Amino acid sequence: MSEVIAAHDEAHHNSTGIDTRKLLMWLFLGSDCLFFGSFIATYLVYRNRSLVGPYPSEILDIPLTTISTFVLLMSSLAMVLALNYTQRDKPVAGRYWTLITACLGAIFLGFQVYEFNHFVNLGLTPKTNMFGTTFFVLTGFHGAHVTFGVLWLLTYAFSCLTTSLKERAILILSIIGFLMIFFAVLMSDWLHVIPHVPFNTVMAIGGAGVLILLISLILLRKTSTPKGIAVSQSMNLELSGLYWHFVDIVWIVIFTIIYLVSAKDVAPIIGM
Amino acid sequence: MTTLKYPTFIPRPKEEYSGFLGTIWSWITTVDHKKIGTLYGITAFIWFLVGGIEALLIRLQLYAPEAKVLSPEVYNQVFTMHGTTMIFLVVMPLSAAFFNWIVPLQLGARDVAFPRLNAFSYWTFLFGGILLNLSWIFGEAPNAGWFAYAPNSSFPYNPGYGVTFWIIGLQALGVASLAAGFNFLATIINLRAPGMTFFKLPVFIWMTAVVNVLIVLAFPIITVALLQLMFDRQFGTNFFNAVQGGDPVMWQHLFWLFGHPEVYILILPAMGIVSEVLPTFSKKPLFGYSFIVFSGIGIGFLGWFVWSHHMFTVGLGPAANSAFAISTMLIAVPTGVKIFNWIATLWGGSIRINSSLLFSVGFIAMFVIGGLSGVTHASPPSDAQQQDTYYVVAHFHYVLFGGAILGLFSGIYFWWPKMTGRILNEKLGVAHFLVTLIGFNVTFFPMHWLGMDGMPRRVFTYPEGMGWDLSNLISTIGAFSIALGTLIFIFNVFFSTRGPKNAGNDPWDARTLEWTISSPPPHYNFAEIPEVKYRDDFWFKKYPELAHGEVSGASASEVNNDDDHHVEMPDLSYYPFFLSLSIVLILGSLLDLSWNGSWYIAGVGILMFVWSLLGWSFEPVNEETSNQKDH
């Protein structure tokens, strides 16, 4: 038996001492840099090339996006706290802050839904001009990354389910809230994926989704049985944390380039 | 993992299955790097035959002026699919077959770092390839060339399903390559045997590492380019729509920013193989190990700064053209270094000539010719004459067939005994080599003349009296000789499987760790993980007197393969298969969004995706082997 264990330990020989899954995540993030880099490069190349309006200066709402950016950055803080609590063997607090992170991410997505919808109502679609094309696709793929991150974080809520029926119900409620936000994104008509739904309906569904998420979170805080993300799972959480922070950092770049740098862009001066 | 009841629907796979369906199920659920490597190899070889048939059709159409074998429409589809198939479905996965088989063995590891992710890569590759080739059923295969220049590939100019198939198929193949890239890099960085520092790694491992860095960094770019093209086609965006201010040259930049590193993704594995074969059959260490390694890294690095040499005739201006000309010529330096090192490895060695060595030597010679013709179009004025002519076709077939394919065949002959326990027939192997080498030169050498004489590539026919008739006829005859060579190889494989398994552990008196274990290796590879002291460790353990007195009586008795060892191996899993299937279903549903069935396919795909991704995450694979668990 001792031989089995010896052979077993050798199999887990780790040449660098870096957790292999963490290594994989870093490699993926390095690759994802090129993914966003290509989209951002495309945005920059096509900047000031729109032949018809609406132009960025007419449509971008910097104060609003500053708020949503703030929300997303705060979600990174929540992520740090979640991981920190989990690593210090405080599973319930770890789970709570994980859900807060997901919730803040969902609120950010809500802002994005609103913004997409708003732009479409103002006449900017991906088809309208070069700004529409590059803006919607770049921020859309960033939104897809946030969506995936939110879902990933929500799986931790499931992975530490207790048998408490009440708690399960609340978690399912939070998933429903999230799905409502998600469908609000789909219905926002920017890709004509789902036939046009009135603006107020989209906002109602999206807003209700955010509300349900918040309520379920507060309920969860009250009913939480002492069971959360075990300290043995902290590496899992750390991986999603790496991903989450990366997606936030990408947003800082996108916010700078689209909202701050291009804020005054108007029609191109040089005739094309 | 906590005790979560997850709806698995399908019972967890067992170790043993019997019967025909059981065997298939055991291959579907396998996570063993050797079985996955075999799957990669067989699948890639079948695509090789498909791509070869497409090549023969091209040559039949061009054998004489005004031939009517293929219509112009079908000709476009055939040459597009020939290029796409050979690059993405043959050379890359055949290299991946070697990565799978050899990397863990040479590292002294029991499997790759993420066995299920590895299975996922294979299945995604398989389904992606099938998706791409399904286009033939619709009668609308991709027809915009392997680099699908926009706006020729945009919806207004190419409204059929063909290019969409090309996009979604390549997306799937990109996912497969990326997953494999992360996996092999993690494996090479973290699963090296104790004592195997980076500069004791075999050169094949080094080249694998460089290739996978290139894959990890280059494939996101083509992913973005394909997404942009797909959004243009399916959702009416303007990325490459000049009417709205979009720029078709943007596609060229993005494509070649991926496309040029891709060229090194194709050739570097063969360079790694040759660097293993030559020392073994010369009984000498590789000449200038660190030069070869750093040249490989240098090629991988410089490969990022040369992409615009594919675009010299676009009109980027003299400054850009000069810069890219210089960087392109610069890349000949590390390549030349490697060539000289290989020759110096042979020099003065006690050479044993066999089919593996012949293919390696053939690789060097053919790659030199391809490299030299490559340098001729590193110069923009010269390139302006050669752009889009058969000269370019000749060049890249010399580097990709004469280079990559010959190198890969060398690897097949070299490692076949390790994979199967049987040595391939030597006479048939030499016949295969000679017929292939001669057929190859007969096919592609006349293309240099054709190109210099101004015959454009991708034309479906040519008029009489251009002076191109004879060269084209010779080329067609050569193409069928290559087919004959391939048939000899297939015959050799079947012929050799009837022989006894008598290869032994180390038939070539070779140098690296994979030869210390039995052929074929046991499921767990190494009963005990070896300790490594030297570069070419096995060689110096066999011949301690050659180690310049550095060996302090290390016993050569590391070979210990009694089957009583119980080694914990990763559990089987079917989730990779279904996750791949779901991704390809989702991609497939993008083919035609106006068809209602697409939404059902997408729905099934998304449900299967969620089920298999969560199942994968919560699957209780060998609880303790946290090292081998994916997220």
CATH number, residue B372: 1.20.210.10
A16 belongs to a structural domain: no
CB contact under 8 A, B627 and A8: no
Domain count within chain B:
2
Helices marked H in B498-574 — which ranges?
537-542
DSSP state of B530: P
Whether B439 and B575 share a structural domain: no
**Count of CB pairs separated by less than 8 Å, A with B:** 168
Interface check for B5 against chain A (CB to CB < 8 A): the answer is: no
A43 belongs to a structural domain: no
The number of C-alpha atoms within 13 Å of A162 and in the hemisphere containing its C-beta is 17
B563 belongs to a structural domain: no
Q: What is the pLDDT of residue A130?
A: 93
Q: Quick one: how far is CA B309 from the chain centroid?
A: 23
Whether B167 and B288 share a structural domain: yes
Interface check for B190 against chain A (CB to CB < 8 A): the answer is: yes
Whether B392 and B254 share a structural domain: yes
Mean pLDDT on B92-119: 95
From the list B617, B250, B97, B363, the residue with the least C-alpha distance to A240 is B617
Whether B15 and B106 share a structural domain: no
A29 belongs to a structural domain: no
d(CA A20, CA A16): 9
Whether B54 and B140 share a structural domain: yes
Contacts of B170 (CB under 8 A, 6+ apart): B84, B88, B128, B132, B222, B226
Mean pLDDT on B4-20: 69
Strand, helix or coil for residue B243: helix
**Is the peptide bond between A54 and the residue preceding it cis, with omega within 30 degrees of 0?**
yes
B41 belongs to a structural domain: yes
- Which residues does chain B have within 8 Å of residue A160's beta carbon, measured at their own beta carbons? 2
Q: What is the pLDDT of residue A8?
A: 39
B562 belongs to a structural domain: no
B24 belongs to a structural domain: yes
The residue out of B517, B533, B557 marking a domain boundary is B557
Mean pLDDT on B305-317: 93
Interface check for B159 against chain A (CB to CB < 8 A): the answer is: no
Q: What is the pLDDT of residue B548?
A: 63
B565 belongs to a structural domain: no
From the list B432, B368, B372, B438, the residue with the least C-alpha distance to B403 is B368
A107: domain CATH number is 1.20.120.80
**What is the overall mean pLDDT for chain B?**
90
Mean pLDDT on B141-145: 93
Whether B483 and B533 share a structural domain: yes
- pTM, two decimal places: 0.90
Q: Nearest 5°: phi and psi at A127?
A: -90, -15
Whether B580 and B547 share a structural domain: no
Strand, helix or coil for residue B40: helix
Interface check for B564 against chain A (CB to CB < 8 A): the answer is: no
Whether B544 and B598 share a structural domain: no
Q: Which residues pair with B389 in a beta bridge?
A: B456
DSSP B251-277: HHHHHHHHHHHHHHHHHHHHHHHHHHH
Name the token pair of A198: 């009135």
Would you write out chain A's pLDDT as a tens digit for each of its 272 residues?
Answer: 333 333 334 445 688 888 999 999 999 999 999 999 999 999 999 998 888 888 998 899 899 999 999 999 999 999 999 999 999 988 888 888 988 898 899 889 888 988 888 888 888 999 999 999 999 999 999 999 999 999 889 887 666 665 567 777 777 787 788 778 777 776 665 555 556 667 778 788 888 888 888 888 788 777 655 567 777 788 889 999 999 999 999 999 999 999 999 888 887 765 44
Interface check for B562 against chain A (CB to CB < 8 A): the answer is: no
- Which residues does chain A have within 8 Å of residue B528's beta carbon, measured at their own beta carbons? 7, 10
Calculated CA dihedral for residues B415, B417, B421, B426, nearest 10 degrees: 150
A271 belongs to a structural domain: no
B564 belongs to a structural domain: no
Least CA distance to B218: which residue of chain A? A34
Calculated CA dihedral for residues B116, B122, B124, B129, nearest 10 degrees: -170
A142 belongs to a structural domain: yes
Closest-CA distance of chain A to residue B182, Å: 6
Whether B353 and B226 share a structural domain: yes
**How confident is the model over B351-391, as pLDDT tens digits?**
999 999 999 999 999 999 999 999 999 999 999 999 999 99
Domain count within chain A:
1
Q: Determine contact, residues B309/B377, Cβ cutoff 8 Å.
A: yes
Provide the residue range defining the domain that includes A150.
60-261
Whether B71 and B19 share a structural domain: no
DSSP state of B389: B
The residue out of B494, B523, B557 marking a domain boundary is B557
Residue B402 class from Cβ within 10 Å (0-12 exposed, 13-18 middle, 19+ buried)? Answer: buried
The residue out of B510, B536, B557 marking a domain boundary is B557
**How confident is the model over B465-500, as pLDDT tens digits?**
999 999 999 999 999 999 999 999 999 999 998 888
User: Considering only residues 184 to 223 of chain A, which have any Cβ-Cβ distance to chain B shorter than 8 Å?
Assistant: 191-192
Provide the residue range defining the domain that includes B192.
31-557
CB contact under 8 A, A24 and B2: no
DSSP state of A92: H
CB-nearest partner of B244 from A130, A158, A239: A130
